[in-house]
């Protein structure tokens, strides 16, 4: 994986960030079990940096809260992400980065699925298949160059 010399998407559309989450008294209370919800998962991935722009995935509308589905009881989390352009060659690395960030932040009981928002990428089907293949994801995460790119995308994330 090499970084592009020329930006693929020179002038991406920018979106406003959401307000910080208001923490309720119940959430501060350690004795109350609070299940993971969409907003919590969104907060984990919204500040991931785009691999080619000094912008977050939230600001580029690559990730959105309403494209996340969480079922805490059934241990499933489904995240859809929207590449900025339909031929984005960064889509695999973005999907992988979202996956890694969630794997690192969430308890291992969760089954995480990361997929392209339907109809937003030319190679949607093959990218989804790659991202769902845990063996190929595991092999990619043993590749030091890929891990370096991912770590750059998730560095200086503020929660």
Partner 1 sequence: MKSYITMGSLELIQTLSGHSGRVWNVCWHPKGTYLASCGEDAIIRIWKETNSDWITTMLLTQGHTRTIREIAWSPCGNYIASASFDATTSIWDGRSGVFECNATLEGHEYEVKSVSWSSNGQLLATCSRDKTVWIWEAKDNEYECASIINAHTHDVKKIRWHPNKDILASASYDNTVKIYEEYLLDSDWTCSHTLASHQSTVWSLSFDKTGERIVTVSEDKTVKIWQEYKAGNTIGISVTNNESVWKCVCTLSGYHTRAIYDVDWCKITGLIVTACGDNMIRIFKEDSDSHMHEPSFSMVCSMNNAHTQDVNSVQWNPTIAGQLASASDDGLVKIWLYNEQNA
Interface ranges with partner 1 (CB under 8 A) = 108-109, 111, 129, 132-136, 138-139, 142
Residue closer to partner 1, measured from CB, 21 or 111:
111
Bridge partners for 81 per DSSP = 116
User: What's the min distance (Å) between Cβ of 52 and partner 1?
Assistant: 26
E runs forming strands in 43-135:
68-71, 76-81, 111-116
- CB-based burial label for 105 (10 Å; 0-12, 13-18, 19+): middle
SS3 content of the chain, % helix, strand, coil (to 5): 35, 10, 55
User: What's the min distance (Å) between Cβ of 94 and partner 1?
Assistant: 21
Q: How far apart are CA 47 and CA 2, in angstroms?
A: 23
56 φ, ψ (degrees, to nearest 5)? -90, 160
Residue closer to partner 1, measured from CB, 10 or 138:
138
Residue closer to partner 1, measured from CB, 142 or 156:
142
- Residue pair 46/157 in contact by the 8 Å Cβ criterion: no
Residue closer to partner 1, measured from CB, 85 or 132:
132
Bridge partners for 69 per DSSP = 78
User: What's the min distance (Å) between Cβ of 58 and partner 1?
Assistant: 29
User: What's the min distance (Å) between Cβ of 2 and partner 1?
Assistant: 18
Residue closer to partner 1, measured from CB, 73 or 138:
138
User: What's the min distance (Å) between Cβ of 111 and partner 1?
Assistant: 7
């Amino acid at each position: 994986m090499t970084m592009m010399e020329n930006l693929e998407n020179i002038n991406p559309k920018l979106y406003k960030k959401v307000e910080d989450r208001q923490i309720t008294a119940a959430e501060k209370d350690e004795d109350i079990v609070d299940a993971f919800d969409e907003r919590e998962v969104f907060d984990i991935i919204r500040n991931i940096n785009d691999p080619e722009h000094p912008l977050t995935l939230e600001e580029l509308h690559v990730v959105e809260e309403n494209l996340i589905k969480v079922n805490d009881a059934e241990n499933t989390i489904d995240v859809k992400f929207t590449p900025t352009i339909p031929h984005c060659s960064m889509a695999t690395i973005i999907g992988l980065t979202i996956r890694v960030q969630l794997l690192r932040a969430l308890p291992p009981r969760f089954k995480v699925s990361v997929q392209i928002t339907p109809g937003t990428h030319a190679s949607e089907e093959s990218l989804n298949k790659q991202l769902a293949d845990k063996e190929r994801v595991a092999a990619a995460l043993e590749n030091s160059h890929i891990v370096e790119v991912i770590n750059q995308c998730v560095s200086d994330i503020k929660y």
